[in-house]
Chain A
């Protein structure tokens, strides 16, 4: 625990006395980067956060979107990187738990989980495999036990995550607008702590996460208990239905210190609490430890004293503990007592609003040194390259992962994992489509365009299901922000995301920033992750396998953009070149036109064209339909660029021949760039250009590599 010079000055200026040890502990937790966002807060304000569907209330930890007919959807995203890199099972599991409680805090029931996982090279690094396997088990164990389906996500491997792990979890909730918790408090209201007991696990977790990962501080990793979490969900929702909750907040990073100060600050109240009333797991916990423990499965509730007996009755039913730890005061102070002794007494807003810092930025040296193209020419035949790419852990089917997640419980999952966007049915007859996307390879080469690309890709994926994007969440993960070069990449990403969000009119309804993602080997590549929510008013476009004679159209332009592609990195082991750039107006045009084709029932299926390029997108469709195809590439670009460039705004459309003319005329009217590139037939994936054969690969061979590679890597090690 240490304060920086400007923080010491801020304390001296505002508190004219020596701070108690407890106060120092509270401030250290609350002013950590993890809790205070001291490096990023000023800049996050640039993101557009309002829109026709957005509902804003005080003190929400999740974004709330109105989906009509009196219903709302809530969404939040979090990561649990440091803990998962030390103890992947518990770290990943508690990451799931934390984000779920954010959804619950708004008074909505969590209905779906998504996770983005990133590890080192699992093909040659046994430790990376261990981290991967156990993080997946941790997520499965927690989500499955709660009965919240994990319905989508992504997994990526890159050397920059060696000895590290990124575990990002997004959660979606659903509920009635009328039952949202309207956070408020009256003087003399009770402050209750509900759920798991407070122990020594996770003490100092937020400070641990606000520094580079050097040691393995296991005591800073929280211990998961999904059974208690499940009971809390049901108990809280019963309390909500009984109108017993005035305000509510999840205990996460910074534990009680953070929850108490932020609640008091956002509601403009004071809170007086006695640590002796907190129910403990270990009786010898010190008051300071109680204040900063990050033990899981705890919720803070503010309620009218008249509702206490009802809340106790509900907690008794579920056999979960409920302690009255304090009361609401008028004085706007955070007052912590240990019995009769005052151990901390500070203005809540002073605690909750840590001093922000201005970080320097400068364009990283490495960007100036990136080579433009690989030094050696490609010698491998394209068929062999395609076969190898299909088995790349970044491209191969993630079936091994998502079969371990219960993705159907709740019986809302209409489009299951393994396709573009996942789709949930809502109670008002509408459907919600969700996708999260990241691409550190693109972001490393071009942090701004890479971040915009992740955003566009997530939009494309929900568009493929027939959904219109209505909101997004971002999770920005970088190395040490005190390094001006790293801070520059952060600024580029957030500016890019802001530009595109404003252009598309898709508000940012939630997000998180995670810095200090580095090990002794260095920082991670910039890893912004974007989640997009789309709404479908009538019915989603269900994934339908292509069949014989179906025609294939490619909407959008393939460009000379191999930089950061799986082809450059996995086949050529080359980092450099030009990363894909989103053309804003092309992006918007293509989304609109594809949505109108879907709504007119003119296409059988749409597939996003992204990682691995056109060659992989087409192969995935062939594998899905167990059918071959014949593609004619007509372009001025070289074959490798046409096949493997990861240019954005592209969609592969599959349609019945009879609809071809109508589709073409709509795309032309919308001024979209498109071409009819081939048909499905036979049992070979064939790419040719006029009479030149470029590539020929049997679908069953492609399928074998695509479906089984990931499982094999895991089994072998």
Chain B
């Protein structure tokens, strides 16, 4: 199975994600520059974190118009698992693949710290090995991570079970403490925290297993399909 890691100008967690996919979880991961095409037989796509286009205008908004996004949209429609982390989540939101927007944190500052996530939906390709309400210790690192949707859309998200992760505590002022959502089909997932920074025992004193399950869920999903 093959996982594509998309690289935009200014992506900076691309190599971290690639390292974790390949060296920790033994997946076949490959970088794709944003002007390249994605092969249609790819099994999963990850949009990593960073500062695509230097966060100019608004985080993720320029990258959302990259040529490769049209391929991502096609794959999304086919039901291929797609994960956006941090800036990747912002790009998915800006490209319309996921609902809502990401605003400046309530503190108005960049925030780099560890927090706990709660799993709200364990039916997605990236959460199926997690328990409902399971806690995931994980770091955030963003300036524009405050998730926002209006009340009507929030009700819609809740009704469709599209809230995938929420913060255990108030972190940045997100609506309903939302940290990650999925599309209505559940195959496109975006999250602000960084699972690739938390899934490796070698660099963490904090329990790495819950974050590992995000990657193991993907292996479970794609493995079953193949």
Binding site for B on A (CB under 8 A): 137, 140-141, 144-147, 225-227, 230-231, 317-319, 402-414, 425, 542
B203–A405 contact, CB under 8 A? no
Q: A403-B112, A411-B203 are in contact. Are A145 and B13 (CB under 8 A)?
A: no
Residues on A with C-beta less than 8 A from B33 are: 317
Residues on B with C-beta less than 8 A from A407 are: 112
Q: Which of A225, A409, A412, A425 contacts B141 (CB 8 A)?
A: A409
* 20 pairs, CB–CB < 8 Å, chain A vs chain B: A144-B110, A145-B51, A145-B55, A146-B51, A147-B51, A226-B54, A230-B54, A403-B109, A404-B110, A406-B112, A408-B112, A408-B141, A409-B13, A409-B16, A410-B15, A411-B20, A411-B203, A414-B202, A425-B203, A542-B205
Residues on A with C-beta less than 8 A from B55 are: 145
- B55, closest chain A residue (CB): A145
Residues on A with C-beta less than 8 A from B30 are: none
Residues on A with C-beta less than 8 A from B141 are: 144, 406, 408-409
Highest count of chain B CB atoms <10 Å: which of A145, A408, A413 = A408
- B203, closest chain A residue (CB): A414
CB distance from B81 to the nearest CB of A (A): 22
A406–B54 contact, CB under 8 A? no
B12–A146 contact, CB under 8 A? yes
Highest count of chain B CB atoms <10 Å: which of A137, A227, A409, A425 = A409
A411–B51 contact, CB under 8 A? no
A147–B13 contact, CB under 8 A? yes
Q: A406-B112, A408-B194, A411-B200 are in contact. Are A231 and B9 (CB under 8 A)?
A: yes
What does the 1/0 interface line of B84-111 toward A look like (CB < 8 Å)?
0000000000000000000000000111
Q: How far is the CA of A408 from the CA of B15 in the complex (A)?
A: 13
A147–B54 contact, CB under 8 A? no
- A543, closest chain B residue (CB): B205
Additional pairs, 10, CB under 8 Å, beyond known A137-B109, A227-B9, A230-B12: A144-B51, A144-B143, A147-B12, A147-B50, A230-B54, A403-B113, A405-B112, A406-B110, A411-B196, A411-B200
- B111, closest chain A residue (CB): A403
Let me know if B56 is at the binding interface, CB within 8 A.
yes
Residues on B with C-beta less than 8 A from A413 are: 203
B54–A227 contact, CB under 8 A? yes
Q: How far is the CA of A407 from the CA of B51 in the complex (A)?
A: 15
Q: How far is the CA of A145 from the CA of B11 in the complex (A)?
A: 9
Let me know if B10 is at the binding interface, CB within 8 A.
yes
CB distance from A639 to the nearest CB of B (A): 36
Residues on A with C-beta less than 8 A from B13 are: 147, 409
Q: How far is the CA of A480 from the CA of B9 in the complex (A)?
A: 44
Q: Which of A318, A404, A410, A542 contacts B111 (CB 8 A)?
A: A404
Residues on B with C-beta less than 8 A from A145 are: 10, 12, 51, 54-55
Q: Which of B110, B139, B203 contacts A140 (CB 8 A)?
A: B110
Residues on A with C-beta less than 8 A from B205 are: 542
A409–B12 contact, CB under 8 A? yes
Binding site for A on B (CB under 8 A): 9-10, 12-13, 15-16, 19-20, 33, 49-51, 53-56, 109-113, 139, 141, 143, 194, 196-197, 200, 202-203, 205
Q: How far is the CA of A288 from the CA of B197 in the complex (A)?
A: 48
Q: How far is the CA of A293 from the CA of B164 in the complex (A)?
A: 51
Residues on B with C-beta less than 8 A from A408 are: 112, 139, 141, 194, 197
Q: How far is the CA of A137 from the CA of B109 in the complex (A)?
A: 8
- A140, closest chain B residue (CB): B110
CB distance from B98 to the nearest CB of A (A): 23
Q: How far is the CA of A319 from the CA of B194 in the complex (A)?
A: 28
Q: How far is the CA of A147 from the CA of B112 in the complex (A)?
A: 12
Residues on B with C-beta less than 8 A from A402 are: 112
Q: How far is the CA of A263 from the CA of B171 in the complex (A)?
A: 50
Highest count of chain A CB atoms <10 Å: which of B13, B16, B54, B196 = B54
- B49, closest chain A residue (CB): A409
B54–A425 contact, CB under 8 A? no
Q: How far is the CA of A407 from the CA of B194 in the complex (A)?
A: 13
Q: How far is the CA of A317 from the CA of B31 in the complex (A)?
A: 15
Highest count of chain A CB atoms <10 Å: which of B9, B113, B202 = B9
Cβ-closest 6 pairs across A and B: A147-B12, A227-B54, A145-B51, A406-B141, A411-B16, A404-B110
Q: Which of B20, B51, B143, B196 contacts A230 (CB 8 A)?
A: B51
CB distance from A412 to the nearest CB of B (A): 7
CB distance from A182 to the nearest CB of B (A): 25
Q: How far is the CA of A570 from the CA of B46 in the complex (A)?
A: 52
Q: How far is the CA of A318 from the CA of B19 in the complex (A)?
A: 23
Q: How far is the CA of A474 from the CA of B147 in the complex (A)?
A: 44
- A410, closest chain B residue (CB): B16
Q: How far is the CA of A317 from the CA of B7 in the complex (A)?
A: 12
Residues on A with C-beta less than 8 A from B202 are: 414, 425
Q: How far is the CA of A318 from the CA of B111 in the complex (A)?
A: 28
Highest count of chain A CB atoms <10 Å: which of B12, B15, B20 = B12
Residues on A with C-beta less than 8 A from B110 are: 140-141, 144, 404-406
Q: How far is the CA of A227 from the CA of B56 in the complex (A)?
A: 9
CB distance from A135 to the nearest CB of B (A): 14
A227–B10 contact, CB under 8 A? yes
Residues on A with C-beta less than 8 A from B51 are: 144-147, 226-227, 230
Q: How far is the CA of A373 from the CA of B220 in the complex (A)?
A: 71
Residues on B with C-beta less than 8 A from A318 are: 9
- A423, closest chain B residue (CB): B203
- A542, closest chain B residue (CB): B205
Residues on B with C-beta less than 8 A from A226 are: 51, 54
- A228, closest chain B residue (CB): B54
Q: A411-B16, A411-B20 are in contact. Are A319 and B112 (CB under 8 A)?
A: no
